A = this chain, B = another copy of it.
């Protein structure tokens, strides 16, 4: 946590109360929050923080590579603080809850040259979908 703040400061990030709160919220719970959820939690600590600042700060954290943006549903983007270890996602098709998973195998290697259409392929995301235990029981 203070790790994160130190890293950011070391990169010339100007430290403000707002940015600290956003970083703390992300680092506090290792879940995948939407921008609005981050905002709600930030407001609880710093009532006057604005939506625009939360969006700006999240965008900067993504640019800096400290946080990943994941679009597992077509609703709001979610922000994944676990940016430093490669992983994929397992999403509940009903309630939308997300777990980080680590499949074996290397999907990048599974795309033959003939299927690359001249693209410079740099990245792959794997999203597993299914029902979580709670939703499967219901």
Q: Which residues of A contact B (CB under 8 A)?
A: 69, 71, 73-74, 77, 90, 92-93, 99, 101-105, 107-108, 110-112, 115-133, 136
Known contacts: A116-B90, A118-B132, A129-B125. The answer to whether A104 contacts B110 by CB under 8 A is yes
Mostly helix, strand, loop or mixed at chain A's interface?
Answer: mixed
Cα–Cα distance between A117 and B92 once the two chains are bound (Å): 11
**Are A128 and B111 interface neighbours, CB within 8 A?**
yes
- In the assembled complex, the CB of A124 is this many whole angstroms from the nearest CB of chain B, namely 5
**Are B129 and A124 interface neighbours, CB within 8 A?**
yes
Chain B residues with Cβ below 8 Å from A74 are 69, 71, 74, 77
What are 18 A-B residue pairs whose CB atoms fall within 8 Å in the complex?
A: A71-B73, A71-B74, A90-B111, A90-B116, A90-B121, A92-B119, A93-B123, A101-B111, A101-B117, A103-B111, A103-B112, A105-B110, A107-B126, A107-B128, A111-B128, A125-B126, A126-B126, A126-B127
- Neighbour of A130 across the interface among B105, B119, B126, CB < 8 A: B119
Chain B residues with Cβ below 8 Å from A131 are 119-120, 122
- Neighbour of A112 across the interface among B104, B116, B136, CB < 8 A: B104
**Are B105 and A133 interface neighbours, CB within 8 A?**
no
Chain B residues with Cβ below 8 Å from A77 are 74
Cα–Cα distance between A131 and B122 once the two chains are bound (Å): 8
